[in-house]
Amino acid sequence: MSVKVSPSVLTADFLNLKEDIARLEAGGSDMLHLDVMDGIFVPNISFGVPVIKSIKAHSTVPLDVHLMIDRPHRYIKEFAKYADILGFHYEAGSDVAETLKEIRNLGCKSCLTIKPATDPEEIFEFLPLCDMVLVMSVEPGFGGQSFMPSALPKLEALKKEIDRLGLCVDLEVDGGINGETAPLAIKAGANVLVAGNYLFSAENMGERIKYIKELGV
């Protein structure tokens, strides 16, 4: 699989969000990663459906919506109206299989996410219902954290099981991705990389997006 970059919009300047999205798209972003936080499942609050609806109206790439919320099944229908990929946490208290099925039935690609403390083997049974799996390489809730190397064996285990089952499932990693950690994540099996500070701190976002994507060539 080719490597894709999903920039984290949480790091953008929200007063100039339209311009930042245009810069990311011009730079070669494959999708936009949108972190939805409720202050309950994670200790932070970000944004919800109205902001995602506005982003959808001004973006030309798929929206990769990451629900970091308690009992996400309650809100799947609303977010599915604007998401292209809709993900939620295995640990968030919803029926995992039924929620993954509902996401697909609503026309979105399904994504299941695990926190750093979760053993990847716990979600093996759900892989046939997933279009993507997201491994958190930081504790979810805040940007700017350092990459946790413990994510690498999790990526390797998931990649091995996905291949064993003959599935076409993207493997995404989120947290602390930069010029040093991106090659490690890709080597471990990730093909979709979420990046925030690494991109937004650059004078030329496109150069850094290109660098990550070329690691998979």
pLDDT in tens, 17-49: 999 999 999 999 999 999 999 999 999 999 999
pLDDT of 140 above 90:
no
Alpha-carbon gap, residue 53 to 58, rounded angstroms: 9
- Asked if 151 and 141 count as a contact pair (C-beta separation under 8 A), the reply is no
Going from the C-alpha of 118 to that of each of 92, 95, 139, 173, 197, the distances in angstroms are 12, 17, 11, 14, 25
More confident residue, 14 or 152: 152
Residues annotated as part of the active site: 35, 174
> What are the b/e assignments for 139-149, b being 16+ CB within 10 Å?
ebbebebebbe
How does DSSP assign 92-141, residue by residue? Answer: SSS-HHHHHHHHHHTTPEEEEEE-TTS-GGGGGGGGGG-SEEEEESS-TT
Q: Is the pLDDT of residue 142 over 80?
A: no
CA distance readout (Å), 147 to 51, 175, 181: 28, 6, 7
User: What confidence tier does 217 reach under pLDDT thresholds 50, 70, 90?
Assistant: confident
Instruction: Point out which residues pair with 157 in neighbouring strands.
Output: none
Between the alpha carbon of residue 193 and those of residues 33, 71, 122, the distances in Å are 10, 26, 22
Q: Is domain 4-214 in CATH 3.20.20.70, yes or no? A: yes
* Residue partners of 36: CB distance under 8 A and separation at least 6: 46, 47, 48, 52, 65, 66, 67, 68, 69, 79
End-to-end CA gap in the chain: 9
**What percentage of the chain exceeds 90 in pLDDT?**
94
Given a contact cutoff of 8 angstroms between Cβ atoms, the answer to whether 198 and 216 are in contact is no
